[in-house]
Amino acid sequence: MKETIIRKRGKAGKTFYRLKALFFLFLLTVITTGTVFPQELTITGTVTEETGAALPGASVAVKGTTIGTLTGGDGSYSIRASRNSVLVFSFVGMEPLEVPVANQSTINVTLRTQMVGLDELVVIGYGTQSRKTITTAITQVGSEKIEEVPLPNVTRALQGKISGVRILQTTGQPGKEASVVIRGGSSISKSSDPLYLVDGFPREINDINPRDIASIEVLKDAAATSIYGARASNGVILITTKSGEKGTSNIDFTVTTGFQEFGRKIETITAEEYLLLYRPAIENASSANKNYLTGPTATGINTDISTWTTRFLAEGEEVPEGWHTTVDPVTGNTLVFQDNDLQEQLFQRAMQVNYYLSASGGTDKITYFTGVGYTKQEGVAVGTQYDRWTVRNNIKYAVNDKISLTSNYDHSFSRTNQFENEANLFTRGAFNAKTIRDYFPDGTPGWGNNATLANPLWVNYTRINDRTFQRSTIGLSGDWEIIPNLHFRPSGNYYTEHYTRDYFEKLHNFNTQRPGEAERDQSQRWQYEMLLTYDLKKIGKHDLSVLAGYSNLYIEDQDVSAEAYGAPTDNIPTLNVSPVPTSAFSSFSEERLISYFGRLLYNYDDKYLLTASIRNDGSSRFGAENKFALFPSFSAGWIVSGEPFMSGVDNLISFLKVRATYGQTGNNDIGRYASQGTYAATFPYGGSAGIRATAMPNLALRWEKTTQYDVGFDLHLFPKENIEMSFDYYYKRSDDLLFSKQLPRETGFNSVEMNIGSVAYNGFEFLVSTKNIRTKNFSWITDFNIAYNTNKVLELPDREGIDKNRVNGIIFPDGTGVGGIAEGEKLNSIIGWQVAFLIDNDEQASAALYDERAAGYDPITKKATKGKKFPGDFEWVENWEDGKISDLDQFVLGYEVPHTTGGMTNTFAFKGIQLNIFTDFAIGHSICDMARAWLNGVGARQVQPTTDVLDAWKEPGDAARTMQPKILFHDPSAQQNHTRNNSYYTYRADFICIREVTLGYDIPERITSRVGLKRVKTYVAGNNLHYFTKYPGFSPEVGGEIRHNGGKYPTFRTVVFGLNIGL
Amino acid sequence: MKKITIILVLLIMTISYACENNLDLAPISSITTSSFWKTEDDAEGALYGMYSQFRSTLNNNENILYWMDFRSGFWTIGTSGGAGDNEKLWQNNMDATTTSTNWSSLYTLINDCNLILKYVPDISFSNQTFKDEVLGHAYFVRAYAYFKLAQLWGDVPIVKEGFESIDQELYNPRSPVSEVYELVKADVAEAVAKLPSSSPGAKPWLASKEAANMLKTEIYLWLAKRAAGGSADLSEAKTAIDAVLLNSYILEANYADAFRNDKSKEIIFSIYFDYAEEPNPSGRDIGQYGWNFVNNINYVPAALRDIVPHSGSTQWLTLSPDYTLRFLKPESEDQRTAVNWQEIPNPSGGTVKWINKYLGTLIEGTRRFYDDIRIYRQAEAYLFKAEVENALNNKDVAIQNLNEVAERAYGIQDYYPLSLTKDEVDAAILEERLIEFAAEGKSWLDIIRFGKAFELITSLVGREGDNQGNILLFPVNQDVISRNTKIIQTPGY
């Protein structure tokens, strides 16, 4: 029964056809890139490591062709190549070696361990640079760190791996990306999302297949980001997709399958405990409605058609099978009821599968990469799901030796089934009292208390809520080497995003009209860029490269939506059969960004490094006088280890670079037309269109500007042990903050967009990587990173009579205050009442401070004495000392954002077996869990309290053992023990998470080669395996909201099995 | 070098030709401050926008009840849900955080009026009468809003400019209530002068000369009784109410018809509701505040579902015994009782009760709460007339008008005899008002106007001196004060 109810609309048939079509496309690409074999001789030899050990699995390729082989278990190889060709030997972690054949038939080589990848190219804005000469704070994450993460999302795969970058999984809805905050962000109230550029083009991070990615570069300091000017204050994430390599040809197939499960449950009391605690509480609460005892309620007496099950056992009746029974403490009769934990029923073990097939390779003329992927991820909450198809095709071809062209195409299609109002369901609905009915005889689940406190299973049964996204990028770029080293690179990119959302409610008891909604949105972006680069390679000891560029980005969004109701049947969820339209909506908006930029990279003798860049950005979002702004940056580096005086210590220090940077960036995250003020035409009255002023104009609005300084060093110690470390200290200051400044209520507007004030962020980042053990068969590598970030408000607009110019928060009569935003204080404080102690007896109660919020209703005398406290209530601490507890008496209870974050990876390799254990942590933040408080406090709403209430105060003396306030049915006394933000419900949210564990095995090549395969790898990978934290909610990773998990879908644990085949 | 020149030329050409460089993008789907207030259509759009805000101001958060009904103590919690902050109003134990102490939505409404009054005079209209009418509506609504502010909070800030720029004076202190009354008097006079007379049953949801005169009567009655306005103000009230009674509004023979038909000829002024205008985004069948009055389906036994109005929402509110026992006569005597209140036995124990006014409409099984809120009805015109005449010592005329309402209610001619004293007539008028306008957001200010707050309201007995004598005023919400520190809290709170 249950199975049929919760199954979502099957899309299996469609999936199959899509896969088939994609596979056909893929084959076409493979076939069209055929290979040619030249005349040749046979060369044999052995590849060894520095230690002399044979190196199995090393790649031997003929340069400029697709011919290649791998060494066997003894490091030997055999290959056919022409007499004048060049062989390329390579192995992961080793420096590649090129050896001309020159008629030799035996070539033995020794590969050296790569010196910490200093020659590795790192993607910087509009170009690449060697790691050695980079002067800015850029972290690179290679594909190997992303690929085996068992999640289909790019950002989730980065969690904890980049120092100074906080990645928060605030929702467990399948397919949703995590939120990324680099170095604490830069703004007080505007978005802290970084700018995502995929192959140089700004697009949504969603629905990118992580396996298509070659590398991710995170640009953290302003010297690195200011080449992106106006949008770069929150850092930039550059994603480079894979491309083919000349002289290779690879086919790669990966399949993973596994499951996800609900991570952390909130422990609630049983149905029996609920009835035993709350029925007497209702009986004793004089002002409460006795309907809760006798009526069809969770605690009352129900019939077969009630959503609740509690009732008295009829005379001579057997207890129904599967039902529970207890003696009613109020009447002494026997109660029977079901005990249905909706958390258990809602959260399932969900499966995910992932297929990925790619081909890459190339010749002198053309390189190609094609990848197709399909992912299906069921949600841990019943009825939620994510399906995604992706295809990507990157082709680069040389027209002649001067001109080459690159074309990129990618397309993704995703479909998400999700709940419409997650906060309602996951903080409220899932906690409907356990006496709820599981299923009615007609197969529908119990529906829950009311429309806004509904059983999620019933919501899933009665609602259809599907979203799809189609995203495509088409890019074409050219490279013309006009004279040697002078390149002209024009490019054009087009991106389109189609979004659909369909919502339908079946006929149900709370609404019989079958309302439906349909939404179709389209977003398009065009970007044209022209780059002129001149690389003056090595004239003497000078190395100079300059860049000049122009960029034009245009975005337009068109949205259409409609709502209607009155469909005659549940079977047609579209609006065509709903005769009563209730809303029709369409809109259009656009924006443009025009930029001119230039950069100079200079190094002298590979020791003294200098970079300077400038960008002039113009945005249509700002007022006429303030459209353009200039963003400069400078950075310098000194490779100390390159100096002669260091040569004596090169056994200790193999590399040392110190660097310092300065740069400015901007943030334009205001509404597209916010500077112009808005009149909205969405206020109809009496059947006529009505128009109202909804935003106050501010034509003086301009960029938010962030200035950032960074000093750091990169240090490599003990060349043999390869200890690498890197340290950065930064200070950034944002001025002219874009801020929705609260206006006096008398103006009729809530707030206005203004540039006000300054805030400073500073912190450090440290990372170290050590190769602890490296023997022939066994290696152990540890990577550790830690980052500290703090902030301080420097300046706010003058507010007469207000200390520290505090905005929001609580302001005392003398002008001082607490919370909100104030000069000299940290951002993101959580404020609330501080519990002094639990009032235990009448003496304490009568000595307690007058509490302005307390109505003071005494259930015994039936009199309300305003301000009065009773035993079992919290006594609060005074902050504003006026002899009473009021809204002024609040304190900073904690901060929402951790000050310290980091992660540690241990990688072990034994022969073909690799084990990767990754943990990350966050320290210094708190969660004020008012959702938990709500569950414990509102017996009246028919919800199941947490096990906290089992410890509740009952009688004098209990305060010695508990701090849990007494159980109240309703709160007629308005003591608000559970409904005001308070220290009792504020938890330290520090955590360590076992984020990833991956165990992999490479089947030896001697076995795989027998079946014609280059590589076969199997692995098992887990994600979000366990949190160590004192916080008792779903997840300690909360995006800043009060309430557990921010009312979002709880995060989950994932385990998958993977098989990767290369041929 | 030549190649470089070529490429540079190409580059410049492409930039200037291929790419659109315009950064001045005016919105297409929305209207900005600089593009609005140009035409007659803009003025008309602003007019309906203002009324839409009028509806939100009174209806959202059940403000009409919180501001103008709850403090009489005639209310209690419905079948489910806690009292929360409501209790503080019912018990007259308010503080600066209590729901409803925030006057923000009234000022939002005032700003809409101010902008109309600022711009519309300079817009050229094809029809001058319509221009006057638009201005008349804005004066009417502004007079209403400031009048309610003055009645509830006393001294309040006066803003008349309309806010459009941060360079304006945004921070205004509370002005003496007497100045607020002057503004209200001036505005209502403009409204009476500019609004056209209405034809009953046409569009009661737009103000008319009669609606403005009803407001004017209410204002001058209040001033006469609460601000020592004396007979000068009473005669202003008399002029106004007489003008209303000249029109052809009726009393529906059946009291219920005044509520079941949004175009009843009894309605002088109402607030328009329609599902298409306020579809609730959360999918709840919420519209007009009456959704609070009916039972949640879960609490209605199956056997009673045909009789008892129910919906998917919670019954948060119902009338308290303090009201029902004192003011509701048996249905056989007073036809209003069955419309105001119902209570029937619940087979599984206890009773099922609900306010039977503003029930919404059942549309294909779902109850939609889109009854128009009645602001002024002909019944009130008679009762205002009675109140004015009684105050002017024309007791007999007063009783005559009072009996118009009483006759409909009780089906008895000359229900109140001419032998009543002036005080007895006043008491009868107030009692009839409390019954006639049950759950319509009138009782609190009515009781104050008649000076009976400390007698009639149980929780206020003996509390004349509370809050430094300001117990009948509302405190100002903390949020209002923290945003504008020039606002001083009502003394005593």
| pLDDT tens-place string over residues A367-380 | 999 999 999 999 99
Chain B interface, best mutation among A529, A596, A691, by max B CB count within 10 A: A691
Q: Between A and B, how many CB-CB pairs are < 8 A?
A: 312
* Inter-chain CB proximity A691 and B30 less than 8 Å: no
Burial of B1 (0-12, 13-18, 19+ CB in 10 A): exposed
Beta bridge partners of A69: A60
How many angstroms separate the CA of residue B283 from the nearest CA in chain A?
8
Chain B interface, best mutation among A301, A482, A745, by max B CB count within 10 A: A745
B-facing residues of A in 833-852 (CB < 8 A) are 852
Residue identified by tokens 């750091």 is: A712
Degrees (nearest 5) of the Cα angle A566, A571, A575? 45
Determine the distance from the C-alpha atom of residue A963 to the mean position of all C-alpha atoms in its chain, rounded to a whole number: 36
Report d(CA A490, CA B6) in Å as an integer.
14
A743 touches chain B (CB under 8 A): yes
Among B55, B79, B365, beta carbon nearest to A685:
B55
Residue identified by tokens 């066997």 is: A72
* Inter-chain CB proximity A511 and B21 less than 8 Å: no
CA dihedral of B82, B88, B91, B92, whole degrees rounded to 10: -160
The segments of chain B whose pLDDT lies below 50 read 280-285
What pLDDT, on a 0 to 100 scale, did the predictor assign at position A9?
40
Positions of E strands within B28-152: 75-77
Among B24, B49, B312, beta carbon nearest to A511:
B312
Residues of chain B with CATH 1.25.40.390: 36-72+84-195+468-483
User: Residue A879 in contact with residue A896, Cβ under 8 Å?
Assistant: no
What pLDDT, on a 0 to 100 scale, did the predictor assign at position A419?
87
**Which residues in chain B are closer than 8 Å to A509, comparing Cβ atoms?**
297, 312
Residue identified by tokens 């990754």 is: A918
Burial of A981 (0-12, 13-18, 19+ CB in 10 A): middle
Q: Which residue of A has its CA nearest to B295?
A: A450
Burial of A648 (0-12, 13-18, 19+ CB in 10 A): exposed
What is the assigned CATH class of domain A41-110?
mainly beta
Report d(CA A121, CA A294) in Å as an integer.
74
**Which residues in chain B are closer than 8 Å to A510, comparing Cβ atoms?**
297, 311-312
Distances (CA, A) of B235 to A742, B177, B451: 45, 22, 20
How many angstroms separate the CA of residue B435 from the nearest CA in chain A?
25
A94 touches chain B (CB under 8 A): no
Residue B25 tokens, joined: 């993008």
Of the candidates B321, B329, B317, B288, which has an alpha carbon nearest to the alpha carbon of residue B436?
Answer: B329
B-facing residues of A in 695-734 (CB < 8 A) are 696-698
Among A589, A690, A799, beta carbon nearest to B51:
A690
pLDDT along chain A (1063 residues), means of 10: 39 48 49 45 84 78 77 84 84 78 85 67 87 87 83 83 84 85 83 90 90 93 89 92 89 93 89 92 71 84 89 91 93 94 91 94 92 94 93 94 94 92 83 92 86 87 92 94 91 95 88 88 94 85 92 94 88 87 86 93 91 92 84 94 86 91 89 81 88 87 90 88 90 89 90 88 94 86 94 88 86 89 92 95 94 84 85 95 91 92 93 92 91 81 89 93 89 83 93 94 87 89 93 80 63 91 89
Report the 10 Å Cβ neighbour count for A39: 8
Of the candidates B336, B348, B368, B366, which has an alpha carbon nearest to the alpha carbon of residue B435?
Answer: B336
Report d(CA A174, CA A295) in Å as an integer.
40
Among A301, A754, A941, beta carbon nearest to B348:
A301
Among B53, B103, B314, beta carbon nearest to A745:
B103
Among A450, A619, A938, beta carbon nearest to B314:
A450
A483 touches chain B (CB under 8 A): yes
* Inter-chain CB proximity B93 and A866 less than 8 Å: yes
ipTM of the complex: 0.92
* Inter-chain CB proximity A303 and B301 less than 8 Å: yes
Q: How confident is the model over A617-661, as pLDDT tens digits? A: 998 888 778 888 899 999 999 999 989 888 888 788 989 999 999
User: Residue B258 in contact with residue B377, Cβ under 8 Å?
Assistant: yes
**Which residues in chain A are closer than 8 Å to B38, comparing Cβ atoms?**
none
* Inter-chain CB proximity A530 and B11 less than 8 Å: yes
Positions of E strands within B221-350: 267-271, 295-296, 310-311, 317-319, 342-345
Report d(CA B12, CA A198) in Å as an integer.
27
Domain B36-72+84-195+468-483 indexed as CATH 1.25.40.390: yes
User: Residue B119 in contact with residue B44, Cβ under 8 Å?
Assistant: no
What pLDDT, on a 0 to 100 scale, did the predictor assign at position B283?
42
Which residues, at least 6 apart from A905, have a Cβ–Cβ distance to it below 8 Å? A161, A781, A782, A783, A784, A916, A917, A918
What pLDDT, on a 0 to 100 scale, did the predictor assign at position B465?
92
* Phi/psi of residue A271, nearest 5 degrees: -60, -40
Among B23, B111, B172, beta carbon nearest to A618:
B23
CA dihedral of A397, A398, A399, A405, whole degrees rounded to 10: 50
What pLDDT, on a 0 to 100 scale, did the predictor assign at position A871?
94
* Inter-chain CB proximity A482 and B285 less than 8 Å: no
* Inter-chain CB proximity A530 and B15 less than 8 Å: yes
